[in-house]
Amino acid sequence: MSFSAAPSSMSPGTLYVVATPIGNLDDISARALKVLAEVSLIAAEDTRHSARLMQHFGIATPLAACHEHNERAEGSRFIARLQAGENVALISDAGTPLISDPGYHLVRQARAAGIAVVPVPGACALIAALSAAGLPSDRFIFEGFLPAKAVGRRARLEQVREEPRTLIFYEAPHRILESLEDMRAVFGEERPALLARELSKAFETLKGLPLGELCAWVAADSNQQRGECVVLVAGWQAPEGEDAVSAEALRVLDLLLAELPLKRAAALAAEITGVRKNLLYQVALERQQ
């Protein structure tokens, strides 16, 4: 495989989306280092931050800012260089670009311009946390950062209260306690959860407890309110008796599913049978899979 940086008038360059470490610098891949060393330009969320990383690895490739404030307006500069045949790498301050980080607009612009976009996979906090959490990992949803204000945060949590898949949130350390307390209020004391803090760093901590106990544990130790963190919460489980949808309700649902989009079928089946719409929606999803 070649990552030639030489401009060519014949074909456009490639935009490499390169993951960088989330803590431990040894987590960068050999391929990431090769790409970063060989491209013409690195589009970085914070050039000063990334300059230190590049210096650490002895990489002298020029850096240019690509952050949430200039990404849309300045994207065309990067696109022009790609179209002129240069290869460009996109990185963020830590982990995988676009995952609660800038890069979405540049990737979209590049793809719309017919430029090849190649991922160079690596660290990602949500995946690292999920891989070690011991919560169901076959299906999960990533909610990113919750709204900073309590009203918005509670409303967002309410929307996913009956979500059956494992829930994953990013949170800032100064809000971790209030967010956990809101989760406890919305999801209940007993819902299993896990706090993954400072992954791959010196004070790495993974603590799995029911939400009620997890809140108390974090409240009692201010060290747990420092550093970077991911919160995982087990998905909703239907209380006893609700998980069995009657054969008649299933028959109605199946008939409607054959004729209508899933959401509409679930809503109509709920009206006809009196079974909760959310429950029928989940059942419909499973039946279509």
Q: Which of 284, 275, 193 is nearest to 235 (CA)?
A: 193
Interaction residues for ligand SAM, span 25-84 (CB under 6 A):
none
Q: How far is the CB of 287 from ligand SAM (least distance, A)?
A: 34
Interaction residues for ligand SAM, span 123-182 (CB under 6 A):
124-126, 170-172
Q: How far is the CB of 277 from ligand SAM (least distance, A)?
A: 33
CA dihedral 93, 99, 102, 104 (to 10 degrees): 150
Q: How many residues bind ligand SAM (CB under 6 A)?
A: 24
209 pairs with which residues across the strands?
A: 193
Give the binding range for ligand SAM (CB under 6 A) out of 57-65, 75-83, 91-99, 216-224. Answer: 91-99
For ligand SAM, give the closer residue by CB, 108 or 277.
108
Amino acid identity, residue 234?
Answer: A
Spatial distance between the Cα atoms of 170 and 4, rounded to a whole number of angstroms = 36
Give the binding range for ligand SAM (CB under 6 A) out of 5-13, 64-72, 96-104, 133-141. Answer: 96-104
Q: How far is the CB of 124 from ligand SAM (least distance, A)?
A: 4
Q: Write down the residue that tokens 């431990």 correspond to.
A: 24
Spatial distance between the Cα atoms of 168 and 159, rounded to a whole number of angstroms = 14
For ligand SAM, give the closer residue by CB, 21 or 164.
21
Pick one of 14, 96, 166, 224: the residue that binds ligand SAM (CB under 6 A). 96
Provide the token pair at 218.
């974090």
Are β-strands 116-120 and 166-171 bridged in parallel, bridged antiparallel, or unpaired? unpaired
Pick one of 61, 70, 100, 273: the residue that binds ligand SAM (CB under 6 A). 100
Assess contact for 153 and 147: CB atoms under 8 A: yes
For ligand SAM, give the closer residue by CB, 4 or 29.
29
Burial readout 193-230 (b: 16 or more C-beta within 10 A, e: otherwise): bbbbbbbeeeeeebebebbbebbeebeeeeebbebbbb
Binding of ligand SAM at residue 101 (CB under 6 A)? yes
Interaction residues for ligand SAM, span 205-264 (CB under 6 A):
228-230
CA dihedral 259, 262, 267, 269 (to 10 degrees): 50
In order of 69, 183, 282, 286, the CA distances from 289 in angstroms are 40, 30, 11, 5
Q: How far is the CB of 51 from ligand SAM (least distance, A)?
A: 18
Pick one of 199, 211, 233, 234: the residue that binds ligand SAM (CB under 6 A). 199
φ/ψ of residue 273, rounded to 5: -100, -20
Q: How far is the CB of 19 from ligand SAM (least distance, A)?
A: 7
Which residues of the chain form contacts with ligand SAM (CB under 6 A)? Answer: 22-23, 92, 94-96, 99-101, 124-126, 170-172, 196-201, 228-230
